[in-house]
Amino acid sequence: MSYSFMRLTGSDSSRLSEAEAEGLRSLHNACADVDEARGQALSTALHLSDSSDAIEEYVDSTGFLHHPRALSELGDATLEYERQVEAIGWRYSSAYAVLGITVLDRLVREQPPLGEDAVHLLCQEPTVGRLRAILSIPSSRLVAPSDGETEDDLPIGSYALKGLEEVRAAILSDGDDPMDEDQLDAGCLSAVRPLGVSPLGSLSFILTVATSVSWEICKRVDAV
């Protein structure tokens, strides 16, 4: 995720409003930093866990296990931090996907640019229902096939959508905190998901969709 969107100037010639360009750039950079933080946290947690196991085996005969226990506790704390970073990543990645797809759809339909208020709203975490709907837009409506390729009617976010549906099914089947479909779809995932349900399976796919769509926007901007 090293692309900085420097070409998204928001000028009239780019067919993007200043708000659209800045919104995409801001969410892209936010997702990049959060994704890096999550990777570092997970790597640290795994390192601490491995170190704790190795040291505990070495000092077990002494009866003094404070060192491995401290490492184990640090690992647990780091994993909890990683879960919090994951939730933050979900909020920004889902918003990035929705804003990007909305802007690309607008460009394809040659509709007027979005204003600042509309962009600010789209930069917030979407409801589950809103995210499902926008990920379900056919690819053929947004992305022209390359030479030699056939038109693709799969949803623009097919893998992300599949992951989201799995998370959604897990929430609906959660026995401790039952929720009906309308209630779930009207809420934001970070607010309604039970503690035991993680969006990690779909998080990377959401981020991939968002980044790919933004690349497509840049291609269209450059073609003007």
Domain of residue 72 covers 17-223
Q: How many domains does the chain have?
A: 1
User: CA angle 199-203-207, nearest 5°?
Assistant: 160
Is 2 within the bounds of a domain? Answer: no
pTM for the full predicted model: 0.84
124-135 pLDDT, tens digit per residue, is 999 999 999 999
Q: What value does the mean pLDDT take over residues 104-115? A: 92
Is 6 within the bounds of a domain? Answer: no
Give me the count of residues in the chain.
224
The answer, yes or no, to whether residue 8 has pLDDT greater than 70, is no
Confirm if 25 and 4 have CB atoms less than 8 A apart. yes
Confirm if 184 and 168 have CB atoms less than 8 A apart. yes
Is 188 within the bounds of a domain? Answer: yes
71-92 pLDDT, tens digit per residue, is 888 888 888 888 888 889 999 9
The answer, yes or no, to whether residue 211 has pLDDT greater than 60, is yes
Is 11 within the bounds of a domain? Answer: no
Reported as a pLDDT band with limits 50, 70 and 90, residue 47 is confident
7 Cβ neighbours under 8 A, 6+ residues apart: 14, 218, 221, 222
Reported as a pLDDT band with limits 50, 70 and 90, residue 223 is low
pLDDT of residue 224: 56
For 11-15, 20-24, 86-90, 93-97, which range has the lowest pLDDT when averaged over its residues? 11-15
Q: Please report the sign of the dihedral spanned by the C-alpha atoms of residue 197, residue 195, residue 30, residue 114.
A: positive
Helices (H), the chain: 18-59, 66-109, 116-122, 128-135, 139-142, 158-172, 181-185, 189-192, 200-223
